[in-house]
């Protein structure tokens, strides 16, 4: 009897343990299921967050690229103009609005095409030099300011000037020539005072590279410090420097002198390979009135002919006049134009803007070629009218800019 009761008790205990074990397994499985569900929800949230993140990133990229294309002289045919033209001249068809239920013969594809538009936008990539023509620059540079050595000592900037904007020649001071790693020797003019014979001699003795393209002396008479007292003295100093220079670099290395007036220039033209006009503007010429130096250039050209070349354009004072100035240089048959961007007090951005203007009109007048890159602007309809005929550009929202990688080179 006791044995029977004992067996019964043991059986009950075993059943209780078994039922408890099953319940724990159910709880564990339930927890596993909850974990899986949570993981799926979290994964979906992460995907959603990733999509939002990607969307914001794309919008930011589009906005940035659009701003770059809005800078002057980057895109010539503006997207807004191209969009307006496409809306105006696209084929007319059956009316189709967002609320239309009667699509008639329209297919789903034609419906979609009404809600999106694409236009081709060509943007500036870089300029290319043209053999026999020169677009030169004198950029900021001063070794007197060791904490800010400016553009002439910044190799990244020099690379942009040469490889993006097609400045094929550059004027540099002595220390910058030694530091330069971008321009070749036959692309460099040394900015040295030819009226200082010892400075020319010292440079030639210390220089050990390939022959330089030339040397430039600015305003022997018009300078503020140590102007030449007379033509005789100026000719003697310049001629002595020229002999030293030619002995070092050869007869093909150019000796160039700039002055403000034809009377000053006539005193030194005989000892120069080329002369140029270092005056910007023409305030004394009242009729026909021009605020730029075209009339003075004409006087120089009439006086000195082919010796008058390498014409100066100011990155500070000639803004808004570069089209006329470069066009006049072209009309006179000059093959070399130069941008003066050397004033230390002028902001970098101001000079970059001047470069944009100068080199665009150098392209327009045939001094350099222009390479452009093709982008596709994609617009989506956001208006309330008929997307197939709505001509308002405000009814269209820019949703993407696609870089096709396609380029073209233009010339004038």
Question: What pLDDT, in 10s, does the model give residues 337-393?
Answer: 999 999 888 999 999 999 999 999 999 999 999 999 999 999 999 999 889 889 999
pLDDT, one tens digit per residue, over 20-53 is 554 444 433 443 444 444 344 334 344 444 444 4
Number of domains in the chain: 1
Residue 232 lies in a domain: no
What would the two tokens of residue 380 be?
């989506």
Q: Are strands 368-381 and 116-129 parallel, antiparallel or unpaired?
A: antiparallel
- Alpha-carbon separation of residue 412 from 78, 309, 337, 347, 402 (angstroms): 20, 21, 16, 31, 28
Residue 400 lies in a domain: yes
pLDDT band at 114 (very low <50, low <70, confident <90, very high): confident
Residue 159 lies in a domain: no
The reported pTM is 0.80
Q: Is the dihedral of CA 224, 229, 230, 236 positive or negative?
A: negative
Roughly how many angstroms between the first and final C-alpha of the chain, as a whole number? 120
Residue 111 lies in a domain: yes
Residue 94 lies in a domain: yes
Residue 386 lies in a domain: yes
Which pLDDT score, from 0 to 100, does residue 298 have? 97
Which pLDDT score, from 0 to 100, does residue 54 have? 54
What is the domain range of residue 389? 63-125+373-410
Write down the mean pLDDT value for the chain: 84
Residue 264 lies in a domain: no
Compare 93 and 313 and report the one with higher pLDDT: 313
Of 212, 168, 162, nearest to 192 (Cα)?
212
pLDDT band at 291 (very low <50, low <70, confident <90, very high): confident
Give phi and psi for 344, each to the nearest 5.
Answer: -65, -25
pLDDT, one tens digit per residue, over 53-73 is 455 588 899 999 999 999 999
Residue 314 lies in a domain: no
Give phi and psi for 305, each to the nearest 5.
Answer: 55, -130
């Amino acid at each position: 009897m006791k044995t029977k009761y004992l067996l019964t008790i043991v059986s009950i205990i075993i059943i209780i343990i078994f039922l408890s074990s099953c319940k724990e397994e159910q709880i564990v499985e339930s927890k596993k299921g909850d974990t899986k569900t949570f993981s799926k929800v979290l994964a979906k949230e992460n995907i959603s967050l990733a999509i939002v993140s990607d969307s914001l990133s794309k919008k930011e990229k589009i906005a940035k690229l659009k701003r770059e294309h809005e800078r002057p002289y980057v895109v010539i045919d503006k997207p807004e103009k191209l969009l307006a033209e496409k809306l105006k001249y696209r084929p007319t068809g059956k009316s189709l609005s967002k609320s239309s239920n009667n699509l008639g013969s329209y297919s789903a594809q034609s419906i979609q095409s009404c809600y999106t538009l694409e236009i081709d936008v060509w943007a500036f990539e870089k300029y290319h030099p043209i053999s026999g023509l020169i677009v030169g620059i004198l950029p900021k540079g001063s070794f007197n300011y060791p904490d800010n050595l400016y553009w002439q000592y910044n190799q990244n900037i020099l690379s942009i000037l040469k490889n993006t904007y097609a400045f094929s020649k550059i004027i540099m001071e002595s220390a910058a020539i030694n530091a330069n790693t971008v321009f070749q020797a036959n692309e460099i003019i040394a900015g040295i005072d030819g009226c200082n014979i010892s400075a020319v001699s010292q440079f030639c003795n210390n220089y050990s590279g390939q022959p330089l393209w030339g040397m430039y002396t600015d305003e022997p008479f018009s300078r503020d410090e140590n102007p030449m007292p007379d033509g005789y003295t100026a000719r003697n100093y310049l001629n002595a420097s020229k002999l030293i220079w030619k002995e070092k670099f050869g007869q093909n290395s150019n000796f160039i002198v700039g002055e403000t007036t034809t009377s000053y220039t006539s005193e030194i033209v005989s000892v120069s390979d080329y002369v140029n006009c270092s005056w910007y503007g023409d305030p004394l010429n009242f009729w026909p009135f021009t605020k730029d130096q075209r009339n003075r250039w004409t006087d120089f050209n009439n006086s000195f002919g082919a010796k008058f070349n390498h014409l100066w354009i100011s990155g500070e004072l000639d803004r808004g006049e570069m089209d006329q100035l470069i066009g006049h240089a072209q009309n006179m048959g000059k093959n070399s134009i130069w941008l003066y961007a050397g004033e230390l007090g002028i902001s970098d951005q101001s000079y970059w803007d001047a470069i944009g203007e100068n080199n665009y009109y150098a392209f327009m007048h045939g001094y350099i070629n222009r390479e452009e890159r093709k982008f596709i602007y994609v617009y989506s309809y956001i208006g309330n009218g008929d997307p197939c005929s709505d001509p308002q550009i405000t009814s269209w929202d820019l949703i993407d800019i696609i870089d096709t990688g396609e380029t073209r080179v233009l010339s004038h």
